[in-house]
Chains A and B, each alone.
Chain A
Amino acid sequence: MSVNVIVTGVGGQGSILASHILAEAAILAESEYPGGEKVNVRVGETFGAAMRGGAVASHVRFGRGVYGPLVGRGQADMVIALEPLEGLRIAVEYIKEGGVVLLNEERIPPVDVKIGAVRYPEIPEIKAALEQLGASVRVVAGSRLAEQAGTAKAVNIVMLGAAFGSGILPFGEEILLEAIKRRVPQRFLDANLEAFKLGRES
């Protein structure tokens, strides 16, 4: 069995950190896989240069039969979108029939929209579009819940909590929490653990 997840968003939102937490959890959980065969973990990223605000997508893959860093077209079990337009961009190409798409509702308009050159699709439009591809789409008030947890920056962890709540991830909550502890700076840990909880319950 293999799991294919893509975390997407805009540069600076923490999608790469979220993907690394998932991959770290998969390494921690390796002993839980039956059979004893070594399980590969991969994260494939596409990101621009040091500039802020670019589109980011991070492919997380683990399990048997995983070798390369990229999820195949139409093969993502789940797309975790920290930004809805980026969720649309990625899920149109990658979500499998019956896959789950989680959309943080906060929109970050690209410059093309800001200068009035193109239109930003409404969230119900995005949801309907992805449902046409057979995806199960859930809109999450990720940014609001992150602020409620104590820091707007924890939106990536709220969305991880929501992802865990979806029941697709093949490892226990304590493993994911351990991975968060290993990757999140100590001074932000409490807020992030709260963010995870709010996301999971959302």
Chain B
Amino acid sequence: MANSKLNQPAGCTALLMGNEAIARGAIEAGLQLMAAYPGTPSSEVGEALIEAHREGDYYIEWSTNEKVAFEVAAGAAQVGARSLTAMKNAGLNVAMDTYMTLPYGGVKGGMVIVVADDPDAHYSSTEQDTRLLAAYAEIPCYEPTDQQEAKDMTRDAFGLSEQLELPVFVRSVSRISHASGDVTFAPARDKRNSLGFNKHYKLPYRWNVYGAPGPVSKHRWLHEVLTKAREAANSSPYNRLDLAEGADVGVLSSGVAAAYTVEALERLGLSGKVSFLKLGMIHPLPDRLVARLLAGITTLIVIEEGDPVLENMVRAYAQEKGYRVAIRGKSYDSILPPFGEINADKTADAIAGLLQLPVGPDKREGRREKLRSLVAPRSSTLCAGCSHLGSYWALREALKKHKGVHIINGDIGCYEQGGYGLFASKINVSDEQSKRHPIRSAYEILDTIYVMGSGIGMAQGQAQAGYKDGKVVAVAGDSTFIHATLPAVANAVYSRADITFLVLDNRWTAMTGHQVNPNTGVDTLGNETEGFDIPAVVRSLGVKMVRTAEAYQLEESKQAIVEALEFKGPAVVILQGECMLQVVRRTKRTGGATRVDEQACTGCTLCVQLGCPAVMFDKDRKKAKIDEINCVDCNLCVQVCPHEAIAVEGAGK
């Protein structure tokens, strides 16, 4: 679509989300290939490049996982193309194997790795700081302070990558990727790199880490290049040192934290009164700039988003070079906690506290504290009519046939909300009622949730260790099934693990914004594909007990799960029901015809336990009620009600 805002002319200023700015940076650099697996908060990099895509432009794909995406991008760079991959923090863990090894041979075409970290874990399992992994892989790392820098750094990263022949890391965070700012466009490069494959490009066996003279020699080469990279950091336009004459306090900051720091210093009246080093290219550490900062000061304040990465690099450097400077950040005698995200308020408080600056008390805090009790929570839920509601109900019902403490291993996708709980429910671990953990709603059904594909692996360990107190179950969505569970399914077959695995197949990579996967039936640019036959794949891996059922048919789903639970050995149930949001979008379905017959309703609340946000309960009248605005007439609550009190009007019985 040529009319994307990313295709506006050079010189214009537009409001861009950080991820869109990164995409524009890649366009300005003459991008030739983009491959990624969606992951919040990184997905819009790919979405924006799909929207801006024009016939004959760069190749773009949603790959099956981050490791595959990384390898696709790396392969493109080996033959000389400019390539980009983007992922969330946890995505880099998936790509780690290839990621750690690629720098030994480096790249020919510019390759940029964008990783969007998520301090405060808004959308993630962890707060991991991947800047450490840029240092671990020994590659250059940029960290943008705002959306303009996100664009410019991404563009420049391609050039730096070609100059150093190393992939270059761009570390974003949620507050860059999912925030927007004014961005002024530069011209887009018309030229595209020509492609070619040189078997021994500059190094013997360049593209083969094991090839003579072996990995150690290639690691030595990497360190020679790093010396040049350090010079690039020392002279980078994104690194700026403002020395304040006579100041004995210095401040070091990078990325979005530098934006908070500038605001905090202004608020505290410290602008221009302390020396300030703002870093945008943070690895390798620009040693000469750091030396100039340290030379005149006795206290260094380090403000960074994530782990104390810069702080500890500078501490090591200061010790080695003999600077006697107290370094305060998140490590020792910390002024900020090493968890959660920071902001301008926390930064100002931390600096004011350390420097003993007078800060007026917040007079309204006491009143706020009282008012907070009025603020009802708004728990995250599955959508009204979500197929996962049906799948979880069927699983609950099927498990009732077996006594014991069943373990339900979750995974990553919309269905992970099966372990979120409702914020308004009081959970007390010392309470016997809570200890027995009755599965009261669709939001309390999952016992373990870690990462993509972890459920079916952990289920096998529980079963193989000899756990006999109950059934062992794992669930995963269709996109996760393809992304991360295939080796684990094969493992369960050949080790004969006695587990039940439910594939919650809604056809889309829904949680990250309905991207396609091989199971969707269309490719990244919307062309039809052959599709992906999950039941056939499971059978071909050797699973003997394979059942499929309609997720919207509760009895059918329940029976399939009952059979699987009774089977000795690995059993797989594929519960099929397309994501209701996509169904509603495509069919313009309206719904709202589902009604409760108050005469028949006994107030048993079973329908409420389905967990659908369109099922309400009037506590005073002890009657269920349907929220007609949200209801999509999916028929799930109709099947749940044992008193035939719910019906879709006009649907008949």
B263-279: which have CB < 8 Å to A?
263, 266
Of B364, B514, B608, which is within 8 A of A134 by CB?
B364
Does residue B15 face the partner (Cβ distance < 8 Å to A)? yes
Does residue B422 face the partner (Cβ distance < 8 Å to A)? yes
B612-653: which have CB < 8 Å to A?
613, 615-619, 627, 630
Does residue A195 face the partner (Cβ distance < 8 Å to B)? no
Q: Which residue on A lies nearest to B367, using beta carbons?
A: A132
Smallest CB separation, B35 vs chain A (Å) = 22
Contacts of B181 in A (CB 8 A): 40-43, 69
Contacts of A109 in B (CB 8 A): 616
Contact A114 B378 (CB under 8 A): no
Does residue B182 face the partner (Cβ distance < 8 Å to A)? yes
Contacts of B615 in A (CB 8 A): 114
Does residue B24 face the partner (Cβ distance < 8 Å to A)? no
Contacts of A73 in B (CB 8 A): 345, 362
Q: Which residue on B lies nearest to A56, using beta carbons?
A: B378
Contact A110 B514 (CB under 8 A): no
Contacts of B345 in A (CB 8 A): 72-73
Smallest CB separation, A79 vs chain B (Å) = 13
Does residue A188 face the partner (Cβ distance < 8 Å to B)? no
Smallest CB separation, A133 vs chain B (Å) = 6
Contact B376 A85 (CB under 8 A): yes
Contacts of A120 in B (CB 8 A): 376
Contact A133 B175 (CB under 8 A): no
Task: Determine the distance from Cα of A50 to Cα of B585 in the docked complex, in whole angstroms.
Answer: 13
Does residue B602 face the partner (Cβ distance < 8 Å to A)? no
Contacts of A42 in B (CB 8 A): 146, 179-181
Contacts of A125 in B (CB 8 A): 374
Give the most central of A20, A23, A69, A85: most B CB within 10 Å: A69
Does residue A1 face the partner (Cβ distance < 8 Å to B)? no
Contacts of B14 in A (CB 8 A): 27
Does residue A55 face the partner (Cβ distance < 8 Å to B)? yes
Task: Determine the distance from Cα of A66 to Cα of B372 in the docked complex, in whole angstroms.
Answer: 28
Contact B511 A112 (CB under 8 A): no
Q: Which residue on B lies nearest to A88, using beta carbons?
A: B375
Sorting the interface of chain B by its residue count into under 10, 10 to 19, 20 to 34 or 35 or more gives 35 or more
Known: A114-B613, A115-B608. A50 touches B510 (CB 8 A): yes
Q: Which residue on A lies nearest to B615, using beta carbons?
A: A114
| A114-139 to B contact mask, C-beta < 8 Å, 1/0 | 11111111000110010011100000
Contacts of A53 in B (CB 8 A): 378, 381, 383, 613, 630
Q: Which residue on A lies nearest to B13, using beta carbons?
A: A27
Contact B15 A43 (CB under 8 A): yes
Does residue A48 face the partner (Cβ distance < 8 Å to B)? yes
Known: A88-B375, A119-B376. A27 touches B414 (CB 8 A): no
Task: Determine the distance from Cα of A43 to Cα of B378 in the docked complex, in whole angstroms.
Answer: 23
Contact A74 B362 (CB under 8 A): yes
Q: Which residue on B lies nearest to A2, using beta carbons?
A: B263
Of A20, A92, A97, A114, which is within 8 A of B617 by CB?
A114
Of B344, B378, B417, B616, which is within 8 A of A86 by CB?
B378
Smallest CB separation, B240 vs chain A (Å) = 13
Known: A73-B345, A112-B422. A50 touches B375 (CB 8 A): no
Task: Give me 15 A-to-B residue pairs in the complex whose CB atoms sit less than 8 angstroms apart, sorted by A's number.
Answer: A23-B182, A27-B13, A30-B13, A49-B40, A49-B123, A50-B513, A51-B414, A67-B260, A72-B343, A88-B374, A111-B422, A119-B376, A120-B376, A126-B374, A132-B367
Instruction: Please name 17 further chain A to chain B contacts, defined as beta carbons within 8 Å, in addition to the given A50-B512, A52-B383, A117-B424, sorted by A numbering.
Output: A10-B378, A27-B14, A40-B181, A50-B414, A50-B511, A65-B263, A70-B343, A85-B375, A88-B374, A88-B375, A92-B372, A109-B616, A111-B378, A112-B377, A114-B627, A132-B371, A133-B367
The 9 closest A-B pairs by CB, nearest first: A69-B179, A116-B619, A112-B424, A110-B378, A117-B424, A67-B259, A68-B259, A43-B180, A114-B616
